[in-house]
Chains A and B, each alone.
Chain A
Amino acid sequence: MAREMMYADAIAAAIAEEMQRNPDVIFYGQNMAMTERDPMLRRFGRNRVRIAPISETAEIGIAIGAAMTGLRPIVELWMSEFMLVAFDQVINEAPRFHYMSGGQVKVPVVLKAGFGFCAGWAGQHSNCIYHTMMGIPGLKVVVPSTPADAKGLMTAAIRDDNPVVYLHPYMLTLEKGEVPEGDYVIPLGSADVKRRGSDVTIVAVGWMVKKALAAAERLAEEGISAEVVDPRTLAPRHSSAAAVIAGEVAEYGFEHLRSPIRMVTALDASVPYSEPLENFIIPSEDKIINAVRSVLTHQAVSPLDPFRG
């Protein structure tokens, strides 16, 4: 069963359903649930639905500590740029504890924020900053592009045992679409083909999916069949300075390449303490030489190979 819903309502529905299902899920943020008329407050009570002061470091840090000790907090941060005030907690605290503790501690928090408000909010409230949270080992980032994805990804984010940054483009807030009722989970890491096509693939996230689909329609009129793919999950995936440069080379110098690009970077993990572990994470001369050899012999490398450069 599905019914038509607004994007914003689909997010709220996922949060309410998970709070109903699991008493460990709590929800707080600035300027929310301020009066007793608030529907979430009426349903779940002041213990689990709270108002926070304008204190992003404490809001996120408290969520981390609550998660380390057994809760599953969702923090309403409103605008993704507000996370920058507390970036230590987002980048250097939440994603590190599972690793630093040798797998003993889990940090299941959801940091929910809107972004990309193209309505004249200017330089500090309108930007896409998700690239700054890509390539952070331990952190997951999702960007839903439809009401159905908004629900399925929020449910998955709440149930995930890792910190998940859930970013929703403000320009999709009023978008309507069919949303499955009841338990609906989209596994984190699964992309979606939003439109089939055979001539070209457009990869887009968030609001840009809508634009890509519209562009694909116009291209179809010209006889070009464009596929539109939405990755939906932006992290984890390998993301580094090397990835950006490799992307530039692939975009502007593809015809000069005689072999697939190989990237020799630190592995996708925080830097561990013990010396043999640390040595394994950082690039070595051997890894550089192996990568050169594999480029010269056109050898394919699996991104899942832990021994890759």
Chain B
Amino acid sequence: MKTERKLGKDRLVWMYTQMVRIREFEEAIKRTFLEHPGVIRGHAHLGDGAEASIVGTLATRNPKDWVMPSYRCHGYPIVLGTLLRKMMAEVFGRKSGLCQGFGGSMHLADPAKYFPGPSGIIGQSIAHATGAALTAQIRKKGQIVYCFFGDGAAKQGAFFESLNMAAVWKLPIIYLLENNQYQAYTHFRLEDANAIAGDPLSKKAEAFSIPGVTVDGTDPLAVYKSVAKAATRARSGKGPTLIESQFYRLSAHGNVITVPPLPTQFPEHEAIAVYGNRSEFEKGKSKDPLPRFRSRLLRAGALADSAAKRIESAARAEVQDAVRFALDSPFPAPEEAVHYVYA
């Protein structure tokens, strides 16, 4: 209740609104594979299940703090205020997209919103985010960096090297390890030494002598509380914190990788499709952060059911508008492909 009071009703409603907007966006992407086959190419990675973790984290953000996630990147710019029209148009490869169709789903970039854009190679963005924190430290304008990555990325060399350097240089950064239970298609209990030993993944922080915290990533207020502490530490020059946010990825790693002209589609979650473990998936789904936060706000009197319904239908309309806009947008001209090779 203390965190709720601290945030206030407007902020809580804002948080729920952002969570709903992310979910609606990701659901629309998934539907596009059925309704408009072939419109989304390559590999799209969805963040449904991560909404509470993303929004709880970014609720602590100041307007000029940088946000640098992995290639599973749709949720963050939605919270930063990037236009959904431009995001959807980029995912559909259109000229009106954020990156004019050059990047696609894995490479959304909106530097004007302090979102410089992720790498598609797992773990490598952790080093880039650490570099943004170096800029923040040198510029001395009070900025910090929010670096998001998955449990799989936490086994890359870039993770260990970056955390060491951030700790040595006391860089203003928060490492948000999104433990969504799967490294691509592999369950994290099959590939993570901490998990196999029965320890939380935040134990990795001990290797760098920095704080390591594990938090329930399905609870936006719990996430907020932990991240706020890490943000204060980063802003006061004390250096990085590693936060393991535990939640369950509600969609498969990404759409099926098919060779053209076979149409691509969104498969069932790995728990079912690979491991045949439907009960694990159902358990994960029962901890879906959206209905839980909704009923919590309703119980606390921060949100009326009618107001929640208005938020939900507004988000649906906003996303539908973005889909229409993207479908109606022209493709870039082919010869533009040789633009932007060099700055």
Contacts and interface: CB of A to CB of B under 8 A. Distances in A.
Contact of B161 (A55, A73, A101, A273): A55
B124 A269 contact: no
Given A267-B338, A274-B94, A101 B130 contact: no
B27 to A, nearest CB: 22
A100 B336 contact: no
Interface string A98-118: 111111111110000000000
A281 B130 CA distance: 33
Nearest to B110: A104
Interface stretch (A89-97, A203-211, A242-250, A291-299): A89-97
A48 interface: yes
B127 A58 contact: yes
Contacts of A64: 127-128, 131
Interface string A193-230: 00000000000000000000000000000000000000
A273 B128 contact: no
Contacts of A103: 100, 339-340, 343
Interface residues of B, number: 58
Contacts of B338: 267-269, 280, 306
B46 interface: no
Given A53-B164, A274-B101, A67 B337 contact: no
A105 B41 contact: no
Interface size class of A (residues with CB under 8 A): 35 or more
Nearest to A48: B138
Nearest to B128: A65
A303 to B, nearest CB: 12
A308 to B, nearest CB: 10
Contacts of B111: 68, 101, 104-105
A162 B337 CA distance: 18
Interface stretch (B12-20, B221-229, B268-276, B326-334): B326-334
B164 A58 contact: yes
A161 interface: yes
Interface of A: 26, 47-48, 50, 52-53, 55, 57-71, 73, 88-89, 92-93, 97-108, 137-138, 140, 161-162, 236, 267-270, 272-281, 306-307
When A and B form their complex, which 9 residue pairs have the shortest distance between CB atoms, in order from nearest? A61-B127, A65-B131, A273-B104, A274-B101, A58-B161, A65-B128, A274-B93, A102-B99, A55-B161
8 contacts: A61-B162, A71-B134, A101-B116, A102-B102, A104-B111, A269-B337, A273-B102, A277-B337
